[in-house]
């Protein structure tokens, strides 16, 4: 019953959407050497283009997925880690790893010890470890099915840290981006180990289906009652550029939909952005504009490439961060929208570290909704 009400509310929310606005379509061209495909035993298929850029490092584009016995359909026009800021207790000026140092400039050429359970993909040098792993039950009730995911991992050496970008593509259509951090902990003047905070800004240009110019964005909020025994779900269509915050007291997720035309005679296919680590969302020690919200949605603009410290030639100098991107509140309903998602990790140094930081991961998931008329597994 709740699911039917959920679909009805979404349908009503879309009733006021404006007609499609023109937007640039992403290129379909990808050098043969950069094409990555993975076919699972079930017949499920992922296909994408991988590029190592000097600033962002690994950038994925033209990401397609096909469930067993289904045709390939596009999910992402382009996806990347668009900014990474590292702060310690004694830093008073932001330092931006992506734009000031460059992940791709410091990518690590891998060997078999770096990729023990997979193989290496060639992009100028062996920089991408590819592997397929099982993750356990995809389904279990009266019968069961074990699931698998396809993983891409790249590494970047920027002392005192080593960074990792990891993308997992699940057999059932889920995408899981992640940032890993390892290396050394810095010391303060008194020789004590410093705490640090990592602020990651992900850029996700959704281009669902045949065109990227008809995206729809919904915000789903689940608010508990005062006695915590029930929850009220509200769904709001977002027609203009906006920023929004997570809140540990409630649950929010964002739905990115493929226009307003049902597929296979049912609801409109979409993807959910499901956040993690709600308790970290309010960390902003230097009161930076781009960290005031946890998610921003902007209309596609080629000059808006990095979450902050956005300095591109032939582009407006003052259009330099997420807060500026959405300030003019352009129309995003039935347009090409870009999702910017901020993740925070705060590490408190402990004696167990012994100056060495064991690898920590921060991830979130993009989960298909109504992608097919029934479960394909």
Higher per-residue confidence, 18 vs 220 = 220
Q: What is the CATH number of the domain that holds 322?
A: 2.70.98.20
Enclosing domain of residue 234: 2-369
Whole-number pLDDT of residue 280: 64
Query: Does residue 159 sit within a domain?
Result: yes
> Residue 363 — very low, low, confident or very high, per pLDDT cuts 50/70/90?
very high
Instruction: Decide if 278 contacts 247 (C-beta within 8 A).
Output: yes
Flag the least confident range among 24-28, 92-96, 180-184, 309-313.
24-28
Place of tokens 């307003």: 260
Query: Does residue 35 sit within a domain?
Result: yes
Task: Using the predicted structure, report yes or no on whether residue 1 has a pLDDT greater than 90.
Answer: no
Please state the domain count of the chain.
Answer: 1
> Residue 14 — very low, low, confident or very high, per pLDDT cuts 50/70/90?
very low
> Residue 25 — very low, low, confident or very high, per pLDDT cuts 50/70/90?
low
| Strand pairing class (125-140; 119-123) | antiparallel
User: Which residues, 6+ apart, have CB-to-CB distance to 233 below 8 Å?
Assistant: 2, 6, 9, 220, 221, 222, 223
Beta bridge partners of 167: 152, 177
Whole-number pLDDT of residue 278: 64
Residue count (the chain): 377
> Residue 27 — very low, low, confident or very high, per pLDDT cuts 50/70/90?
low
Instruction: Decide if 267 contacts 361 (C-beta within 8 A).
Output: no
Beta strands in 141-265 (DSSP E): 144-158, 161-170, 175-184, 196-206, 215-224, 231-238, 242-244, 251-258
What's the Cα-to-Cα distance from 127 to each of 55, 183, 354, rounded to whole Å? 15, 19, 29
Query: Does residue 376 sit within a domain?
Result: no
Task: Using the predicted structure, report yes or no on whether residue 94 has a pLDDT greater than 90.
Answer: no
In percent, the amount of the chain with pLDDT more than 70 equals: 90
The radius of gyration of the chain from alpha carbons, rounded to an integer in Å, stands at 21
Closest CA to 192 of 353, 74, 54, 375: 353
In this prediction, residues 186-191 reach a mean pLDDT of 86
Whole-number pLDDT of residue 99: 97
Query: Does residue 245 sit within a domain?
Result: yes
pLDDT digits 0-9 by tens, 151-163: 999 999 999 999 9
Beta strands in 73-160 (DSSP E): 73-88, 119-123, 125-140, 144-158
Query: Does residue 377 sit within a domain?
Result: no
pLDDT digits 0-9 by tens, 270-306: 999 988 766 566 678 888 999 999 999 999 999 999 9
Query: Does residue 181 sit within a domain?
Result: yes
Residue 327, CA atoms < 13 Å, CB-side half-sphere: 11
Count other Cβ atoms within 10 Å, centred on residue 251.
17
Query: Does residue 102 sit within a domain?
Result: yes
Query: Does residue 374 sit within a domain?
Result: no
pLDDT digits 0-9 by tens, 193-252: 888 899 999 999 999 988 888 889 999 999 988 888 899 999 989 999 999 988 778 888
Task: Using the predicted structure, report yes or no on whether residue 324 has a pLDDT greater than 60.
Answer: yes
């Amino acid at each position: 019953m709740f699911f039917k009400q959920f679909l009805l509310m979404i349908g009503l929310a879309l009733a006021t959407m404006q007609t499609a606005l023109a937007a640039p379509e992403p290129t379909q061209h990808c050098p043969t050497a950069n094409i990555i495909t993975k076919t699972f035993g079930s017949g499920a298929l992922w296909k994408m283009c991988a590029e190592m850029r000097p600033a962002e490092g690994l950038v994925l584009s033209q990401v397609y997925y096909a469930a067993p016995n289904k045709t390939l359909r596009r999910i992402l026009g382009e996806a990347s880690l668009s900014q990474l800021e590292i702060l310690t207790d004694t830093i008073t000026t932001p330092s931006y790893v992506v734009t000031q140092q460059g992940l791709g400039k410091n990518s690590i050429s891998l060997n078999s010890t770096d990729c023990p359970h997979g193989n290496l993909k060639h992009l100028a040098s062996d920089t991408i470890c590819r592997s397929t792993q099982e993750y356990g039950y995809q389904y279990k009730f009266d019968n069961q099915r074990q699931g698998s995911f396809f993983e891409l991992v790249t590494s970047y050496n920027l002392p005192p840290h080593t960074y990792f970008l990891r993308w997992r593509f699940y057999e059932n259509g889920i995408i899981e981006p992640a940032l890993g951090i390892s290396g050394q902990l810095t010391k303060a003047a008194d020789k004590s180990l410093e705490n640090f905070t990592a602020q990651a800004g992900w850029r996700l240009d959704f281009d669902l289906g045949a065109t990227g110019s008809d995206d729809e964005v919904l915000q789903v909020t689940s608010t508990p009652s005062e006695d915590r025994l029930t929850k009220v779900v509200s769904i709001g269509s977002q027609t203009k550029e906006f920023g929004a915050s997570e809140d540990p007291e409630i649950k929010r997720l964002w739905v990115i939909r493929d226009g307003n035309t049902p597929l296979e005679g049912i609801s409109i296919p979409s993807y959910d952005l499901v956040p993690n680590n709600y308790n970290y969302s309010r960390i902003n020690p230097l009161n930076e504009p781009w960290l005031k919200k946890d998610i921003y949605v902007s209309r596609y603009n080629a000059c808006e490439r990095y979450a902050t410290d956005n300095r591109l030639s032939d582009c407006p100098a003052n259009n330099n961060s997420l807060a500026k991107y959405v300030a003019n509140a352009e129309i995003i309903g039935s347009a090409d929208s870009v999702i910017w998602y901020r993740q925070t990790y705060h590490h408190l140094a402990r004696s167990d570290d012994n100056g060495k930081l064991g690898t920590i991961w921060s991830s979130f998931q993009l989960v298909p909704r109504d992608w097919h008329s029934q479960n394909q597994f």
